Amino acid sequence: MFFDYCPVCRLPGLPNKLCPTCSRQAATERFDTFMVRCPSCFHPLVSEFYVCPECSMKIYSVYDYSASFVRRIVVRWKLEGERKLSNLVSDMFYDTLTELGLTPDKYCLTKVPSSRKGKRNRGWDHMSDVLLFLKCKYNYNISDILITNKDSPVQQKKLNRSQRFEVARSRFKLKNKYSKPALPLVILDDITTTGASLHACKSILEENNLEVWGAVTLLQEL
């Protein structure tokens, strides 16, 4: 059997897979282990009797941001620049896309554009890596058609819902030249907090007559 090290704790294991201990730890932080989901938009809810506060867009987030294990993986990857983790993270996305039936023959992947500052600090674009891994390993069509218009200096959390949306909306735009994807788009992002960026990206795409399924993100801060 091919042999490697757990990309997180470095104990021996299978290539690009969390070892059993890390894998169990990650599983406890999945929303599905301690919450239910809104059946139409997938927003995590405390009980099925709660009325969903979201429901304008499908956003499937896998892990709870307030737990620390998966968040720490994302910090190592994105902020501390451990680029090798792009491979592991792209497989986390792949597992979720597969569970949701978002297969390469039916959907095309895109992403929320990274902030210019983050890209500059890292020297590489973490979510572009994810798209490229998903294309090379699993044959997904990818369409990197949104770009950053300008970085926003505004703290999103201080704004109300529609202000947040407007600020996010002004941060992104479509590339001037792009080829129209033949399949509906799924927007990927690492972390969602208010969801404003995802809603903004969706509305920009839809205004340009592109079909959007919704979004898949790794972590959500509720």
Among residues 14, 46, 55, 154, the one that binds Zn ion under rule CB under 5 A: 55
Region near Zn ion per CB under 5 A, out of 28-36, 54-62, 155-163, 192-200:
54-62
Give the distance, in angstroms, between the CA of residue 110 and the centroid of all CA atoms in the same chain.
Answer: 10
Among residues 52, 67, 191, 222, the one that binds Zn ion under rule CB under 5 A: 52
**Considering the complex, what minimum distance in angstroms separates the CB of residue 41 from Zn ion?**
3
**Considering the complex, what minimum distance in angstroms separates the CB of residue 76 from Zn ion?**
13
Give the Å distances, CA to CA, from 15 to 26, 104, 133, 189, 213: 17, 23, 15, 24, 31
Please say which residue, 59 or 102, places its beta carbon nearer to Zn ion. 59
Q: Which of residues 107-166 bind Zn ion (CB under 5 A)?
A: none
In 3D space, the residue among 116, 123, 119 whose CA is nearest the CA of residue 149 turns out to be 116
Q: CB within 8 A of 47, min separation 6: which ones?
A: 36
**Considering the complex, what minimum distance in angstroms separates the CB of residue 181 from Zn ion?**
26
Please say which residue, 57 or 131, places its beta carbon nearer to Zn ion. 57
**Considering the complex, what minimum distance in angstroms separates the CB of residue 208 from Zn ion?**
25
57 contacts Zn ion (rule: CB under 5 A): no
Please say which residue, 46 or 136, places its beta carbon nearer to Zn ion. 46
Please say which residue, 8 or 70, places its beta carbon nearer to Zn ion. 8
What is the pattern of x (binds Zn ion, CB under 5 A) and - over residues 18-47? -x--x---------------x--x-x----
Q: If you count them, how many residues does the chain have?
A: 222
Backbone angles phi, psi at 172, to 5 degrees: -120, 155
**Count residues contacting Zn ion (CB under 5 A)?**
11
DSSP string for residues in 79-96:
IS--TTHHHHHHHHHHHH
Residue 160 CA to residue 116 CA, distance in Å, equals 24
C-alpha angle 7-10-14 in degrees, rounded to nearest 5: 60
As to burial, measured by CB atoms within 10 angstroms (0-12 exposed, 13-18 middle, 19+ buried), residue 82 is middle
Please say which residue, 92 or 142, places its beta carbon nearer to Zn ion. 92
Which token pair is 167?
Answer: 């600020």
**Considering the complex, what minimum distance in angstroms separates the CB of residue 217 from Zn ion?**
15
Residue 209 CA to residue 203 CA, distance in Å, equals 10
Q: Which residues bind Zn ion (CB under 5 A)?
A: 6, 8-9, 19, 22, 38, 41, 43, 52, 54-55
